[in-house]
Every structure is written in C-alpha cells, then in structure tokens.
C-alpha cells in the first residue's frame, strides 16, 4: 500500500513540477510583449537557456529511448533503469521551444518592439558567455573522440557512450549554474527588478522542489540511492535553480521592493545612472 502511494506521489510530483517549470517560461515573454521591450532582461539568460535545454533534451532522450545508453547505465548502477521519466522529456521539449521564442524577442523586427532596444544594455551576448558556450561544445566533441578512440574498454570502468551523455548532461548543469548570474548582476546594478518577471521565478522555485522530491521517491522505491548518483544533473538542476530563485525573490520582495514594476525603461538612455552604469555587454 505504501509503495503504491509513493508511486502515485512520484507520478503527481513529476507532472506538477513539469507544469510549474513549463509555465515558468511564460511570464517573461508576456512581460516583454506587454512592455514592447526586453530592457532589464539580459540576453545572456535566454541565450544560455537555448544551449542548456538543447543539451537537456538530448540527454533525456538518450536515457529514455537509447538501448545502448540504458544498457550501459544498468551495468554501472546495479542493473537499475535510469531515473528519468517521460515528464522530463516533455518538459525539455517544451522548454527548448520556449527558449527560442524568448530569444527571438531580442530581435525587435520580429515582434514589433521598439528598435532602439537593440542598443540597450544587455542586448548583446557577452563575450564571456560566448566563450563558455564554445567551451561546452568543445567538451562534448572531445568526449565523443575519446569514446571512439577507447570503445573497446570495459563499459563499467572505461569510457563508453553513456559518458558522452553525461558530458552533455553536465553542459546543462554548467549552463544552469552560470545563466542566472548576469541577471542577478543586472538587477543589482539597476537596483531594480523592472523587466524581470518574478512570476516565472516563483514557478521555477516550486518546480525545483518537486523535482528533487520526485528523484528521492524514485530512488527510495528502487531501494538504491544510485538513482540519485546516477542522475546527478536532475538533482543539481533542482538545487541550483532553488538557490538562485531565492536570490531573485529576496531582490524583488526585500532589497528592491517597490522598484520592480512594469514601467518601461527608456532604451535610448542608459539603463543606469552614470555612477553605476551596467557593464554587461
């Protein structure tokens, strides 16, 4: 009876977190559309999201449907199956689509936004973010080369195709760790959360908590916590998201309370006063 209850709970948590995380993508583009502007929201965030969720989609598909990856996972994790559910794939696919929608809003001609926004702070991807993205791609390619060169090694102790999937998964983890930082700095330098939707953050926070709970329940039901160590990305994604969500919540409701309205920022002028000009490219 207890097992059946936990299975149902895991299923419910899985889909509720999927819905929360999926809905978290909508407040920002709606706010951008309402303001006819992307000012106050650094392009680094959606740019990294495209790369991150592309990696998450590929790794999720691999763990769910690639026979070789599932076989190698079982060999390394006491014959268990990956703790990846269909709702993870549904979320990844939807998230990737929404990331493309959001980043398209930084081209004013597509959405009819004020074209002066192109010259606004944060309207260009910073060089450091481009460098990080390039390094992630090089890392994935390098892992493929290593596996091809050592494909005769033992799956358990040597390099195998599952390691390529893990590298792709870690790309998503790295992206998630870094992607929030430009926006945290943007809010700090603006002394405001104007242009940054708190609604998406609250939904993201709820999704992160439920994602971790589902992972814990699934591992408990398997009677083996290798379900957690075998899926470190899902665990860390939830934890990292929660950490930064708390920062954004503090910025919006405590530090810069009253400075987070929807009033458009004039993109012809600097976003910040001269003494605290934004340095994000």
Answer whether residue 103 is part of any domain.
yes
Range scoring the smallest mean pLDDT among 22-31, 51-60, 107-116, 261-270: 261-270
Q: How confident is residue 259, by pLDDT bands cut at 50, 70 and 90? A: low
Q: What is the pLDDT of residue 179?
A: 87
Q: What is the pLDDT of residue 203?
A: 93
Answer whether residue 281 is part of any domain.
no
- Concatenated DSSP letters of 77-88: TTTPPPS--HHH
Answer whether residue 137 is part of any domain.
yes
- Mean pLDDT value of segment 204-224: 84
Answer whether residue 280 is part of any domain.
no
Average pLDDT, the chain: 82
Answer whether residue 31 is part of any domain.
yes
Enumerate residues 6+ apart whose C-beta is below 8 A from 203: 20, 21, 23, 24, 27
Tell me: pLDDT of 266 over 60. no
Answer whether residue 78 is part of any domain.
yes
Q: What is the pLDDT of residue 217?
A: 86
For 64-78, write each residue's pLDDT tens digit.
999 999 999 988 888
Q: How confident is residue 97, by pLDDT bands cut at 50, 70 and 90? A: very high
For 186-203, write each residue's pLDDT tens digit.
889 888 888 888 898 999
The model's pTM is 0.76
Answer whether residue 7 is part of any domain.
yes
Q: Residue 72: name the closest of 147, 154, 146 by CA.
A: 154
Answer whether residue 279 is part of any domain.
no
Q: How confident is residue 228, by pLDDT bands cut at 50, 70 and 90? A: low
Domain that holds residue 69: 2-264
109 or 133: whose pLDDT is higher? 133
Distance between CA atoms of residues 54 and 270, nearest Å: 33
Distance between CA atoms of residues 204 and 209, nearest Å: 9
Q: What is the pLDDT of residue 234?
A: 66
The total of structural domains in the chain comes to: 1
Q: Residue 122: name the closest of 35, 28, 42, 185 by CA.
A: 42
Range scoring the smallest mean pLDDT among 30-34, 109-113, 251-255: 109-113
Q: Residue 143: name the closest of 215, 58, 240 by CA.
A: 58
Q: What is the pLDDT of residue 117?
A: 46
- Mean pLDDT value of segment 108-115: 80
Tell me: pLDDT of 273 over 80. no
């Amino acid at each position: 009876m207890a097992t059946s209850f936990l299975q149902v709970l895991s299923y419910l948590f899985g889909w509720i977190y999927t819905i929360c995380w999926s809905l978290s993508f909508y407040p920002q583009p709606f706010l951008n559309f309402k303001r006819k502007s992307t000012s106050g929201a650094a392009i680094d965030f959606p740019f990294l999201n495209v790369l991150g969720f592309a990696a998450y989609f590929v790794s999720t598909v691999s763990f769910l449907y690639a026979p070789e990856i599932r076989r190698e996972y079982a060999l390394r994790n006491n014959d268990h199956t990956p703790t990846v559910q269909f709702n993870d794939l549904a979320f990844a696919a939807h998230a990737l689509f929404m990331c493309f929608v959001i980043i398209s809003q930084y081209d004013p001609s597509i959405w009819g936004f004020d074209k002066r926004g192109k010259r606004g702070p944060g309207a260009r991807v910073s060089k450091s973010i481009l460098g990080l993205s390039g390094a992630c791609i090089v890392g994935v390619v390098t892992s493929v080369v290593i596996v091809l060169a050592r494909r005769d090694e033992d799956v358990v102790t040597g390099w195998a195709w599952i390691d390529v999937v893990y590298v792709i998964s870690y790309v998503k983890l790295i992206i998630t760790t870094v992607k929030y930082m430009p926006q945290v700095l943007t809010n700090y330098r603006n002394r405001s959360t104007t242009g940054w939707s708190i609604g998406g953050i609250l939904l993201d926070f709820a999704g992160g908590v439920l994602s971790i709970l589902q992972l814990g329940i699934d591992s408990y039901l398997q009677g083996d916590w290798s379900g957690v160590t075998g899926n470190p990305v899902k665990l860390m994604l939830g934890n990292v998201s929660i950490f930064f969500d708390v920062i954004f919540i503090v910025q919006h409701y405590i530090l810069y309370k009253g400075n987070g309205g929807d009033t458009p920022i004039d993109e012809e002028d600097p976003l910040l006063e001269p003494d605290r000009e934004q340095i994000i490219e």
